[in-house]
Structure 1
Amino acid sequence: MENTIDLEEPITAAKCSENLSSVEDAIYVIGGKWKLKIIIVLQESGSIRFNELQRNIRGISARVLSNELKDLELNGFVKRVVHAEQTPVVVEYISTDYSRTLKNVIIALSDWGKMHKRNIRTEAFLSQ
């Protein structure tokens, strides 16, 4: 299955470099094993406490989750809300409006992942 892309303008070395730089920046911020998983769970949950978030993301340690949440907060994807008026103090995490700008990217990645899995299964079946 071959896909062709109709380009509106020819790709120059400068444009290629700009695209690579932009993708590199995006991957730096949301890349890795856990960040997109955290963003997706937060978007689907609304607000969620740390332990519940950890239970929803199988395999992530508390230390890694804490570090990833700090990174996501620094980059504007997550907001940490402390309810100090309660005893014990309750801390919740919510996705920001900026985080929701990734919705189309997440949907596109999900669709591509499903297509890729089908292709791999089909190729594995055909090679038998």
Structure 2
Amino acid sequence: LGRRVAAAREALEARSGRLTLRPVQAEIAREGRRLADQGARLDAAFARLVAERRGRLDAADRLRETLGYRATLARGYAVVRGDGAVLTRKAEAAQARALEIEFADGRLALSGRGGKRGGAGGEPPEQGELF
């Protein structure tokens, strides 16, 4: 038994000489570099993704601006409000107590709407001679 223990001890000492931290440290360093490389690639991919999404968001915002009613006002249209509500029909405007017209550069309040109204009936205006 003593010889077996001594032989096992010698075998263990022979093998323990080959056990070093160097291979483990080398693998840790290699994996650390790989992790740093992957982190840099991830950062670059994230920056590209953010830039792409920012571009898409900016494009959607530009489209929203062109479809908004203020862009319509800039093209020469107007928004008519009566008693604080947007009016879309002539009959609504006729019933409103006060009108407000919004143009691209501001709003105009109309009051005292008792003037002559156009419409059916009455004589058509006379056209002068052209020649």
**TM value normalised by structure 2:** 0.23
**TM value normalised by structure 1:** 0.24
Higher-RCO chain (CA-CA 8 Å, sequence separation at least 6): 1
